[in-house]
Amino acid sequence: MSVTVRLLSEDDLAEAWTLGRWAFGGPAEAPARALSTIPEIHRWGAYDDATGRLVGKVTDHEEHSWWGGRAVPAADVSGVAVAPEVRRGGVARQLLTTALAAARDRGAAVSALYPTVSAAYRSLGWAVTGLLGSAVLDTAALPAAREDGVVLRPGTVADRPLVVDLYEQVARGFDGPLTRRGGRWELAPRDEQPLGDGVDLLTVAEEDGEVTGVLGYERGRGYGAEAALDVSDLLATTPAAARALVDVLAGWRTVTRTVDVPVLLGDAVSQVLPLERATRPGTHVFMHRLVDVERAVAARGWPPHVRGAVRLAVVDEVAPWNTGTWQVELDGGEGRATRVGGGGDLVVRPGGLALLWTGAAGGRAAAAAGLVSGVGDPAVLDLLSCGRAPQLLDYF
């Protein structure tokens, strides 16, 4: 099939919603946000040249994510859908190839997505790099411990910027989380949930007049065995604030049996939660891919104690601007990738680059996965995997 890929206009969005509904389910009537354009959201459509019908779509979110303490330009992909009659015909490949090229042109360095079929995205250079963390816990198992020195108050709409600021304090210390700034993050709250999407109740923790924690959650319905709390944000910058906010959740034990809590392993909250009692771990697999090798190495922060250089050859058919031999050097928290002549002892596929750059796996693991080949010892590529394993708190 011959198709033309182009950006969707506002007039195209109702048809795009229908195509997405066929793929993922959902209401027949599109929500208002799905039918409005946002400059930082790039929606691409594939149109059958013979009939003019929309047969595929993809959404590229122009945003940033934290890597080594720096906000790195990202192209986060969602809503990939293809009409059932033309699936496995290369439409998704054309859409994503076009979207990647446009993302590179605007300055993106890395791309993340949540796959429905990981094999399809692996063939295009994305690699599974982690799981979206979530734990369902028995509310009665949560530790109840009121903290002296922590003042708790109900949050208001005026506190929404405060939640973003506190999230940034926590998230920038990890690799992978979105910055939650710009684009869709700046949209006005919905009338039915003025505190933010998925937030009925907001609790703010303060110590000595400074905000050190926030808890946002949906109450849900009922008070029987099926009743549950769904937490969207549980953030703390001190152990005392973490314990105080978990205590707030524990106070719901008489009317809600379970609570679903996002997990960021290694933060203050994860040290308080009884995660060994989780009945369901997070199951949303996420994947990453480098959009531009040179930019990705330079844009992120690297561990300042790591110093070294490695030479590698990259083969990337989907993003051919990455193909070539590169000398990668790290020194004092900075990174640089320089094109050099000749070949390299080690050949790295895009999925291997994703595993290494994100810190999800080392060189030998990437080689065992078939993503690194050549005559050299792939362990030398561990220079590129010296960061922390990625984590995400947001589903898109």
pLDDT tens-digit map of 281-334: 667 899 999 999 999 999 999 999 999 999 999 999 999 999 999 999 999 999
Place of tokens 């997990």: 263
Hey, what amino acid is at 220?
A: G
In this predicted structure, what is the pLDDT of residue 32?
86
Fold of 292-383: Nonspecific Lipid-transfer Protein; Chain A (3.30.1050)
Considering the domain 3-108 in this protein, what is its CATH number? 3.40.630.30
Q: In the chain, where does DSSP find H-type helix?
A: 13-24, 91-106, 118-122, 160-171, 239-250, 293-299, 350-358, 363-368
In this predicted structure, what is the pLDDT of residue 267?
96
pLDDT tens-digit map of 210-235: 999 999 999 999 998 899 999 999 99
Sign of CA dihedral 36, 31, 288, 264: positive
User: How far is CA 217 from each of CA 8, 98, 384, rounded to the nearest angstrom?
Assistant: 34, 38, 38
Is the confidence at residue 203, as pLDDT, over 90? yes
Is the confidence at residue 352, as pLDDT, over 90? yes
Mean pLDDT on 47-61 = 97
Residue 141 CB: number of other CB atoms within 10 A? 15
pLDDT tens-digit map of 9-26: 999 999 999 999 999 988
**How far is Cα of residue 130 from the mean position of the Cα atoms in its chain?**
10
As given in the structure block, the two tokens for residue 336 are 């640089």
Mean pLDDT of all residues belonging to the chain: 95
Answer whether 119's CB lies under 8 Å from 299's CB: no
Residues 344 and 308: their CA atoms lie apart, in Å, by 17
Q: Which of 357, 370, 380, 373 is nearest to 175 (CA)?
A: 357
Hey, what amino acid is at 8?
A: L
In the chain, % of residues over pLDDT 90: 89
Asked if domains 3-108 and 292-383 share a fold, the reply is no
319: left (phi over 0), alpha (psi -120 to 50) or beta: beta
> What are the residues facing 217 on neighbouring strands?
201, 231
Would you place residue 192 in the very low, low, confident or very high pLDDT band (cuts 50, 70, 90)?
confident
Is the confidence at residue 367, as pLDDT, over 90? yes
Would you place residue 1 in the very low, low, confident or very high pLDDT band (cuts 50, 70, 90)?
confident
pLDDT tens-digit map of 105-160: 999 999 999 999 899 999 999 999 999 988 999 999 999 987 889 999 999 999 99
pLDDT tens-digit map of 259-273: 999 999 999 999 999
Mean pLDDT on 166-195 = 93
As given in the structure block, the two tokens for residue 2 are 């011959």
In this predicted structure, what is the pLDDT of residue 342?
86
Domain locations along the chain: 3-108, 134-281, 292-383
Per DSSP bridges, beta strands 127-132 and 284-290 are antiparallel
Mean pLDDT on 37-47 = 96
Answer whether 346's CB lies under 8 Å from 373's CB: yes
**How far is Cα of residue 235 from the mean position of the Cα atoms in its chain?**
17
Answer whether 150's CB lies under 8 Å from 260's CB: no
Residues 93 and 126: their CA atoms lie apart, in Å, by 12
Residues 85 and 64: their CA atoms lie apart, in Å, by 35
Answer whether 43's CB lies under 8 Å from 36's CB: no
Architecture of domain 134-281: 3-Layer(aba) Sandwich (3.40)
- Residue 37's H or E segment, with its range, is none
Residues 371 and 210: their CA atoms lie apart, in Å, by 48
